Structure 1
Amino acid sequence: MGAEEVVATCSGANVEMVGGLGVDEVIDYRAMAPLPDHLARTYSDRPFDVILDTVGTQALYERSPSYLKPNGVYINVGALEGFMWSLWCWAKNTLWPTILGGTPRRYIMFSTVPNGKSAEKLADMVETGKVRVVVDSVFGMDEVLEAYDRLASKRAKGKIVIKIQDD
């Protein structure tokens, strides 16, 4: 990515796995709760250029001026739970700062509809080692409900794979 320093957050149970992905620092967000306070204390003198939020933590964005550079960007990847909540957060975070003096940091909500061209590009990135996929578990077609339960638990440490057919 060309970043000088990559900092990741996760629960304590995932620190070792996330650290193995090549980040410079891993923060256990439970041990350092509330996370926005910890980030403000630790990174106010060396704020981030970019924050990539894959969970959709509204408080993290609202407090970002304490640890995100003034010209930095906060990117929320993927949809938040619930369409109306996603729409509300997007509107609040993109329109409020410019109109009513809200959080003075650029906010981008990024989500996309899968398509063949994107899938091919992603497959190429995986094959060339630019993207590493962490697999939590593999289920057969007859175990789809178990796979769904694993997904719903929000405890997966990586992707959940449903094997369509044996090789």
Structure 2
Amino acid sequence: MMSADQAQVATAAPAAEASSKSIPTTQKSWSVTGSGDPDKVLKFGDVPVPKQKKGEILVKVQAAALNPVGYKVLKLVPSFVARRSKAHEFDLAGVVVDANGTEFKEGDEIFGVIPVLSVFLNGYGALAQYTVLPAQRAVIRPKNVTPTQAAGFPIAGLTAYQSLFTLAKLEEGQSVFINGGSTAVGSFAIQLAKAVGARVAVSASGKNEQYVRNLGADEFFDYTKAPLHEQLIAADPNPKYHVFLEAVGTADPTLFVESEKYLAPGGVFLSVGPQGGGCLSFIWKVFLQPSWLGGTKRTWKLVSLDAKKNELEAFAKLVEEGKVKPLVDSVFSFEDTLKAYERIKTGRATGKVVVKVDPTAE
């Protein structure tokens, strides 16, 4: 049940009519108390509503989406840095309540992303009733998606977009392999690749085959049946893949080391970044081992998200055209945010785990 303070905020003026006069001075948020797991260091309570800097907009948050980096970074940052965050997380959809002289106007419904460093340096992320973000990190939400659907677009969607188009220059008629097709990044990548007319092969567990095929996958590999690199070598793709997107974050370099057998000359191997143990072996085999000592004659690139306005707009246009559809695994209430973290930490979510900050949001 909502407290009196929550009810006061939830029943404030309708989003499109919100003005500076209706903005409270305090709000509910999930702030960070230290370094560790979300259930240990996230606290639900009252914090001040933030003030904007030049180029920032104040947004009444409708929904926020969780990302794996959200709970992982809490374990990595020192407690004295973590405690700077009065509201955690990065992806959101909401309504502009103070445009602050930017290209937006009050009442605009947007989705956008708050940079990870900004959450800790400036103190405000997406898990709050009100937050601030750079106007250059937000775009108008397409009318054919709801706030809870759009909240999950920025980090996963843009990571997929920049991987395929900014880094790999994927074109019509080419082919791409996506390792981790049922992950949020992989799922968006399938749709984006199909949107430009590429052929798409993916890996996932057998239970997710229909899910990735419904997104547009042309070819499927069940990684639970045999080591994936062995399956790819046996398949002997002709032509070989032009792009290989490793969307799982495996620290095992084998897929890259063996990639000459299934990745075309001049092709690019993209990775969201090795995670877990074995990183020293990964660094040697990917970056340091020369070809005359068995090194791989293919290009490896790390995907490092840089949310740019023009790419957010291009992604939003594909959504508006129906070429990219939202991916929502589950929706939790604002008060149940810790349960949302439990869901995303299982690694079994297909699509985005979303927190409905405003209970009236669709």
TM-score band by shorter chain is 0.7 to 0.9
Give the Cα–Cα distance (whole angstroms) in 2 for the partners of residues 135 and 109 of structure 1: 26
Distance 1:118 1:161 in 2: 22
Q: Does 1:130 align with 2:323?
A: yes
Gaps of 5+ in 2: 1-170, 175-197
Render the CA deviation track for 1:47-94: whole Å, top value 9, x for unaligned.
211111111342211111111112211111x33326x94x98467524
Structure 1, unmatched stretches of 5+, are none
Report the equivalent of 1:16. 210
Indicate conservation of the 8 Å contact 1:97/1:104, yes or no. Answer: no
- What is the CA–CA distance in structure 1 between the aligned matches of 2:357 and 2:350, rounded to whole Å? 21
Q: Out of 244, 249, 253, which is 1:51 matched to? A: 244
Pair 1:120–1:71, CA change in 2 (3 A):
closer
Aligned with 1:36 (options 219, 229, 248): 229
User: C-alpha distance in 2, partners of 1:132/1:96?
Assistant: 41
Q: Which has the higher contact order (CA 8 A, sep 6+)?
A: 2
Distance 1:133 1:90 in 2: 35
**1:55-134 equivalence runs, <5 A:** 55-57=248-250, 58-76=253-271, 78-81=272-275, 85=279, 89=282, 92-97=285-290, 102-114=295-307, 118-134=311-327
Q: Note if contact 1:90-1:109 (Cα within 8 Å) is conserved in structure 2.
A: no
Query: 2: CA distance between counterparts of 1:164 and 1:90?
Result: 41
In the alignment, is residue 159 of structure 1 matched against residue 357 of structure 2? no
Q: Aligned pair in 2 of structure 1 residues 35, 20: CA closer, same or farther (>3 Å)?
A: same
Contact 2:257 2:285 in 1 (8 A): no
TM-score (norm 1): 0.82
Q: Percent identity?
A: 37
Q: Which shifted more, 6-15 or 51-60?
A: 51-60
Letter in 1 for 2:275: E
Which AA in structure 2 matches 1:124? K
Contact 1:8 1:27 in 2 (8 A): yes
Deviation readout 1:83-142 (Å, 9 max, x if unpaired): x94x98467524534685511111111111446555444333322223222211111111
1:140/1:163 contact within 8 Å kept: yes
Cα distance, 1:109–1:101 mapped onto 2, change above 3 Å: same
Separation (CA, whole Å) in 2 of partners of 1:97 and 1:122 = 38
Distance in 2 separating the partners of 1:53 and 1:92: 16
Answering whether residue 343 of structure 2 is matched by residue 150 of structure 1, we say yes
Greater Rg by CA: 2
Measure, in 2, the Cα distance between the counterparts of 1:24 and 1:8.
8
Distance verdict in 2 for CA 1:112–1:90, change over 3 Å: farther
Give the length in aligned residue pairs: 163
Cα distance, 1:27 vs structure 2: 1.3
Deviation per residue, 1:12-39 (Å, 9 max, x gap):
11100100011211111112x1110010
